[in-house]
């Protein structure tokens, strides 16, 4: 049964993205968290071509997702996931020790792992062929490999980072998807299996299916 929310939850999403971004737009994280928590939601797609001027009052950078729940207005997918997790033991343990560890992993995903993976994706996808990218990539790959090794060592043979799935795993597995264009996870079998385990969860699959169902195939005309 879905958890009852005090006010209807609405996520601001995009109405179109290029093929390489389909399934990766960060509203999937919020959808995933809501699916794990059993909380219903609706979406309000905004134009990819030109954001409404009023939207910048909700999301200062014009990105998605934004989150609306009664008087609550939020931006940044990580913050929204943690907000949702506060009401769901499926995402955030209620004991102080478990809660602290889950929060630590959530922030680690956003601060210690995602930025360098995003930089690698930028080098590979958006700066391919540029001289600065060619010079930067070897040291960046070395840094990513080191960080993946540290993460694999921390995970060990557990199914999830703290033994049970939490918001920390949701955000970590989300961050690791930035390596999908590479084979770097394959060098860390336990870590690769961990990501596959997270992404096989029914809530993740439902979140991605919902996002893909809403995105247009053709680019919309400018308003």
Domain 96-201 is of which CATH architecture?
Answer: Up-down Bundle (1.20)
DSSP SS3 for 161: coil
Q: Which residue has the tokens 């960080």?
A: 147
Q: Which residue has the tokens 């794990």?
A: 36
Q: Give the chain's length.
A: 223
Provide the 3-class DSSP secondary structure of residue 5: coil
Q: What is the DSSP letter of 152?
A: H
Q: What percent of the chain has pLDDT over 70?
A: 94
Band (pLDDT 50/70/90 cuts) for residue 138 is very high
Q: What pairing do the DSSP bridges indicate for beta strands 9-14 and 66-69?
A: antiparallel
Query: Which CATH number describes the domain made up of 9-90+204-214?
Result: 3.40.30.10
CA 14 to chain CA centroid, Å, is: 15
**pLDDT 10s digits, 161-171:** 999 999 999 99
- State the pLDDT confidence band at 220, using cuts at 50, 70 and 90: low
pTM assigned to the model: 0.94
The residue ranges of every structural domain in the chain are: 9-90+204-214, 96-201
What is the per-residue pLDDT for 54? 94
pLDDT of residue 59: 96
Whole-angstrom distance, CA of residue 182 vs CA of residue 144: 12
pLDDT at residue 42, as a whole number: 97
Residues 54-110: tens digit of each pLDDT: 999 999 999 999 999 999 999 999 999 999 999 999 999 999 999 999 999 999 999
Q: CA 173 to CA 168: how far, in whole Å?
A: 9
Residue 221: the pLDDT is 63
SS3 breakdown of the chain: % helix, strand, coil, rounded to 5? Answer: 55, 10, 35
């Amino acid at each position: 049964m879905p958890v009852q929310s005090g006010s209807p939850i609405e996520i601001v999403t995009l109405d179109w993205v290029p093929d390489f971004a389909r399934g990766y737009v960060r509203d999937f994280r919020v959808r995933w968290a809501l699916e794990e928590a059993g909380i219903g939601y609706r979406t309000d797609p905004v134009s990819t071509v030109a954001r409404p001027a009023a939207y910048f009052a909700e999301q200062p950078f014009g990105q998605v997702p934004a989150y609306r729940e009664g008087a609550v207005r939020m931006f940044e997918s990580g913050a929204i996931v943690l907000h949702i997790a506060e009401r769901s033991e499926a995402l955030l343990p209620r004991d102080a020790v478990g809660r602290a560890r889950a929060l630590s992993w959530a922030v680690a995903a956003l601060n210690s792992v995602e930025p360098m993976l995003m930089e690698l994706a930028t080098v590979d996808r958006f700066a391919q062929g540029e001289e600065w990218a060619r010079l930067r990539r070897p040291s960046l790959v070395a840094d990513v490999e080191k960080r993946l090794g540290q993460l694999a060592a921390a995970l060990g043979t557990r199914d999830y980072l703290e033994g049970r799935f939490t918001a920390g795993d949701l955000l970590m597995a989300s961050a690791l998807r930035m390596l999908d264009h590479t084979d770097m996870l394959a060098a860390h079998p336990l870590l690769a299996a961990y990501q596959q385990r997270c992404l096989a969860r029914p809530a993740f699959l439902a979140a991605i299916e919902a996002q893909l169902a809403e995105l247009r195939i053709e680019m919309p005309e400018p308003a």
